[in-house]
Amino acid sequence: MEDYPRNLKEFDVRFRSEEACREYLSQLRWPDGFRCPRCGCQESSPVRTVLLRCRDCRHQTSVTAGTIFQDTRTSLRLWFQAMWWVTTQKNGASALGLQRVLGLKSYETAWTWLHKLRRAMVRPGRDLLSGRVEVDECYVGGLEEGLPGRLNLEKALVVVAAQEDGPGIGRIRMRQIVDASAQSLVPFVQDSVEPGSIIHTDGWLGYLPLEKKGYEHEIAFLRGKIKTPSESMPRVHRVISLLKRWLMGTHQGAVSHKHLDYYLDEFTFRFNRRRSKSRGKLFFRLVQQAVAVEPVPLDRILHPQAKVKSKPQSVGVW
Ligand SMILES: [Zn+2]
């Protein structure tokens, strides 16, 4: 079922032509065969090279229509190379790196491509975390995009959930939030964790309503000896420190608040698949999701409708 190249050599052989790339997209988009997006008919005939015409309603479509590749003026091969590169970089991909590797003329193009791909890194309708989950917030950032080294004192508040997996970390979720109020924290937990799970937090008031929302709430009491947050909730704090290192390392802190959510998606995508034996499998997932998400107009990439409506306020959380 999961058909993907194992290494660069296989990748090169497999995706040598536009046709091969289109065929692969087609397999992932219509695993049970073509289906007309308008009437559901499963019969089509090819029109020129890229179009398919529905037998019943005559609607013309293509495998890239309605996906992030829609209206692309670049070859699919180049997109495939971008996706391969993005998923095989252990620590993630910067726009500058992508520009260099693909020999793209402009940095802006590389930047836009990466943002389009990040939109495909969150699986629509993905599974919720369950079991025991540690949740905490942290501040990230401080540098403004495009101005390396220039200090921006505003930091963004991010809430992180890390599922326990024995002594290790299972899957994670994260989101930028306006403040650490219950109105910000509780909906995040509800969107990320199955009801009935055990949520482990510090004693912050914002988490108190969780109990009423159907979660078992465990507060890290600092009983007897004084424990630091990283001792009482080691998993979520490990994730937070990796996230900070990743933002400062791969992206050199050059992430603005309005785009932060998508970087969080990329981090989560990579983290949740960090044990994948084959990098090719990440590539497969990314392509699979890229044909499942709607295209995003450039304007919305440049000016995302902020999920965070106002400036993060200073609230006393660790
Ligand atoms: Zn049709």
Per DSSP (E only), the strands in the chain are 44-47, 51-54, 60-62, 132-140, 156-165, 168-177, 198-201, 216-219
Q: How many CB atoms lie within 10 A of CB 303?
A: 10
Q: How many angstroms is it from 318 CA to the middle of ligand 1?
A: 57
Bridge partners, residue 137, by sequence: 159
Structure tokens at 252: 């050199």
Mean per-residue pLDDT for 10-27?
94
Give residue 86 CA to ligand 1 midpoint distance, Å.
35
Compute the average pLDDT of residues 66-87. 91
Task: Using the mean position of ligand 1's atoms as its centre, give its distance from the Cα of residue 47 in Å.
Answer: 14
For 287, phi then psi, to 5°, come to: -65, -45
Distance CA 261, CA 175 (A): 7
Instruction: Indicate whether 300 pLDDT > 60.
Output: yes
Integer Cα distance of 116 and 284 in angstroms: 16
Give 3 Cα–ligand 1 centroid separation in angstroms: 28
Phi, psi of 151 (to 5 degrees): -80, 130
Distance (Å, whole) CA 181 – CA 257: 19
| Residue 175 alpha carbon to ligand 1 centre in Å | 39
The amino acid sitting at 76 is L
Average pLDDT, stretch 49-75? 89
Q: What is the mean pLDDT of residues 18-35?
A: 92
Which stretches of the chain are DSSP H helices? 8-14, 18-29, 76-88, 95-102, 107-119, 182-192, 229-232, 234-249, 257-272, 279-290, 298-302
Distance from Cα 53 to the centre of ligand 1, integer Å: 8
Residues with Cβ within 8 Å of 82's Cβ and at least 6 positions away in sequence, in order, are 98, 102, 113, 117
300 by DSSP, 3-state: which?
helix
Distance in Å, CA 282 to ligand 1 centroid: 33
Report which of 71, 25, 33 is spatially closest to residue 54, judged by C-alpha positions. 33
| Structure tokens belonging to residue 223 | 């009983």
For residue 160, the number of C-alpha atoms closer than 13 Å in the C-beta half-sphere is: 31
The pTM of the whole model exceeds 0.85: no
- pLDDT, averaged across the chain: 85
pLDDT of residue 124: 62
User: For residue 294, how far is its CA from the centre of ligand 1 (angstroms)?
Assistant: 19
pLDDT for residue 292: 87
Centre of ligand 1 to C-alpha 56, Å, is: 5
Q: Compute the distance from residue 126 Cα to the ligand 1 centre, in Å.
A: 29
Q: State both tokens at 192.
A: 């990320």
Query: Furthest-apart CA pair in the chain: how many Å?
Result: 75
197 pLDDT above the threshold of 80: yes
In this predicted structure, which of 88-92, 163-167, 248-252, 308-312 has the lowest mean pLDDT? Answer: 308-312
Which two structure tokens, joined as six digits, stand for 8?
A: 């660069």
Sheet holding 51-54, edge to edge: 44-47, 51-54, 60-62
Evaluate if residue 225 carries a pLDDT over 60. Answer: no
